């Protein structure tokens, strides 16, 4: 489960495009922030993706990615041209291919490496789908195959939704605000499509008498979409964006990525336990439908006068963590990343940024509301400080070197703050009536054992 959103310049407070995504995967599936430089490749070079090899192109752009540690591709990312992309698992009446091919995450990274603008990214993905297809296991410890949708935006302020089914696809141009989730969302506005789309839709039983084609009605597997709460979350993020349309800020996007739905807003004792419904910020819980429902990374990109600022947690559960700035892309050049420690894996490593945060995240889950409240105001204040610091910085010369220094300072301050917050949380004993259910505790105890992590 994931949710991806965009607000084009007409919908934002400062007139710059804002993109955002929560990546939801398995709870022990750590996600790494990685930067890869631009490169020139020899003719005939081959590229090893997650499962298959494909021909390499002559030039690849520099990319900044948030990717599950075990795969070549990425859940979300940006390139040095200001192109940003997020993907979603979507479920069609036509079963996704099980045979190893390109994963949706591979397609995302390939588009970032090979395209400069949103329309070019569509061309890259379309060509790769036609030549190599999509398919294979996308799961970390479980078997999980799916088709993919993409939200693609660029430094020129353009945004496109591309939804696929096997090798076929359709594209919708975004007018103002848009979100996608784990369900097909393109209706009758189809601005581009693959040559085989209509034939594929006919095979699913869509009648030409029902023209114009409504893609979601024609291809979506409504039962699976409902089970994944994709439709509910899509409606929720759309509603939250519409409420702020014309004045959307980075802080608004952070709030949406932390949203737990209307029920949580009305219940001060709400806790992430069991069925989660339309919550955008997901926490894994017991039961087969919730086991892979953990937000393992969160990302926001905003453009100010064409300059991208990436606000990234680098950790799971944005409600328990902090968005910090990274400067990369037009005006900044190659990414200068803070020290995140070693590449995380599926096991606890106290030196790896992602796993260091898990101590705090999982400690909060033991009595969610009061433990989170011990530092929630401090977290908000720290993020406000970072945003103010960035605004002041952009008013000056704002050189790439100074940008790297500012980013390093923000990430260091956030790391120090999280250590203090962990101590405060652990000093607050969980209440008997505030603990999660026995099934929830059992599920997380198993995850912690598997990762080699002790939580109290």
Residue 2: active-site member: yes
- Calculate what percentage of the chain has a pLDDT beyond 70: 98
pLDDT of residue 118: 98
For 2-345, CATH number out of 3.60.60.10, 3.30.420.40, 3.10.105.10, 1.10.600.10 equals 3.60.60.10
Rounded to an integer, the average pLDDT of 26-51 is 97
Question: Given the structure tokens 């859940």, which residue do they identify?
Answer: 75
Q: Compute the average pLDDT of residues 49-72.
A: 98
Q: pTM score, two decimals?
A: 0.97
Would you state the pLDDT for residue 290?
A: 65
What is the chain's mean pLDDT, rounded?
A: 95
- Give the separation between CA 218 and CA 202, rounded to whole angstroms: 9
* 235-244 core/surface letters (b: 16 or more CB in 10 A; e: else): ebbbebbeeb
Q: Which of 316, 446, 23 is nearest to 455 (CA)?
A: 446
Checking if the pLDDT of 337 tops 90, the result is no
Q: Among candidates 309, 311, 315, 310, which has minimal Cα distance to 340?
A: 315
The pLDDT score that the predictor gives to residue 291 is 65
Average pLDDT over residues 252-271: 92
**Where does the pLDDT of residue 288 fall: very low under 50, low under 70, confident under 90, or very high at 90 and above?**
low
Q: Are 418 and 281 in contact (CB under 8 A)?
A: no
The mean-pLDDT minimum among 109-118, 334-343, 359-368 falls in 334-343
Band of pLDDT at residue 209, cut at 50, 70 and 90: confident
What b/e readout covers 318-350, taking b as 16+ CB neighbours within 10 angstroms? bbbbbbbbbbbbebbbbbbbbebbeebbbebbe
**Which two three-digit tokens encode residue 111?**
């588009």
pLDDT digit string (tens) for 126-184? 999 999 999 999 999 988 899 999 999 999 999 999 999 999 999 999 999 999 999 99
pLDDT (tens digit per residue) in 233-250: 999 999 999 999 999 999
pLDDT level of residue 434 (50, 70, 90 thresholds) = confident
Cα 264 from Cα 243, distance rounded (Å): 18
Domain boundaries, the chain: 2-345
Which of 2, 34, 138, 410 is an active site residue?
2
Total residues found in the chain within this entry: 456
């Amino acid at each position: 489960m994931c949710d991806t959103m965009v607000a084009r310049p007409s919908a934002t407070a400062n007139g710059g495009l804002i993109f955002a995504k929560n990546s939801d995967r398995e709870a022990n599936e750590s996600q790494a922030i990685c930067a890869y430089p631009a490169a020139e490749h020899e003719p005939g070079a081959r590229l090893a993706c997650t499962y298959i090899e494909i021909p390499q192109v002559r030039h690849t752009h520099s990319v900044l990615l948030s990717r599950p540690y075990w795969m070549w591709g990425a859940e979300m990312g940006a390139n040095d041209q200001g192109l940003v992309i997020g993907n979603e698992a979507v479920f069609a009446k036509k079963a996704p291919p099980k045979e190893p091919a390109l994963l949706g995450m591979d397609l995302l990274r390939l588009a970032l490496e090979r395209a400069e603008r949103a329309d070019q990214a569509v061309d890259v993905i379309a060509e790769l789908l036609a030549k190599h297809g999509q398919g294979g296991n996308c799961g970390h410890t479980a078997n999980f195959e799916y088709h993919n949708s993409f939200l693609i935006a660029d430094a020129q302020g353009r945004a496109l939704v591309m939804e696929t089914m096997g090798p076929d696809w359709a594209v919708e141009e975004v007018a103002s605000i848009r979100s996608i989730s784990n369900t097909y969302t393109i209706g009758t506005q189809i601005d581009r499509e693959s040559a085989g789309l209509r034939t594929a839709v006919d095979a699913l039983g869509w009648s030409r008498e029902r023209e114009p084609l409504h893609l979601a009605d024609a291809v979506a597997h409504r039962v699976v979409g409902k089970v994944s709460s994709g439709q509910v979350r899509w409606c929720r993020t759309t509603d939250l964006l519409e409420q702020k349309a014309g004045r959307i800020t980075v802080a608004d996007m952070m709030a949406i990525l932390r949203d737990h739905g209307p029920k949580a807003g009305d219940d001060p004792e709400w806790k992430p336990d069991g069925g989660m419904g339309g919550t955008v910020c997901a926490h894994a819980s017991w039961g087969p439908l919730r086991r892979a429902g953990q937000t393992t990374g969160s990302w926001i990109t905003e453009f100010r006068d064409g300059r991208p600022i990436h606000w990234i947690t680098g950790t799971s559960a944005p409600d328990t963590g902090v968005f910090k700035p990274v400067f990369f892309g037009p005006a900044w050049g190659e990414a200068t990343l803070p020290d995140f420690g070693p590449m995380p894996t599926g096991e606890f490593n106290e030196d790896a940024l992602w796993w260091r945060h898990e101590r705090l995240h999982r400690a909060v889950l033991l009595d969610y509301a009061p433990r989170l409240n011990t530092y929630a105001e401090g977290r908000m204040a720290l993020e406000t400080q970072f945003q103010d610091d960035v605004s002041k910085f952009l008013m000056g010369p704002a050189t790439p070197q100074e940008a790297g220094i500012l980013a390093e300072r923000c990430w260091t301050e956030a790391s120090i703050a999280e250590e203090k917050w962990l101590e405060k949380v652990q000093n607050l004993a969980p209440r008997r009536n505030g603990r999660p259910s026995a099934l929830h505790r059992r599920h997380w105890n198993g995850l912690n054992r598997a990762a080699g992590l002790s939580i109290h």
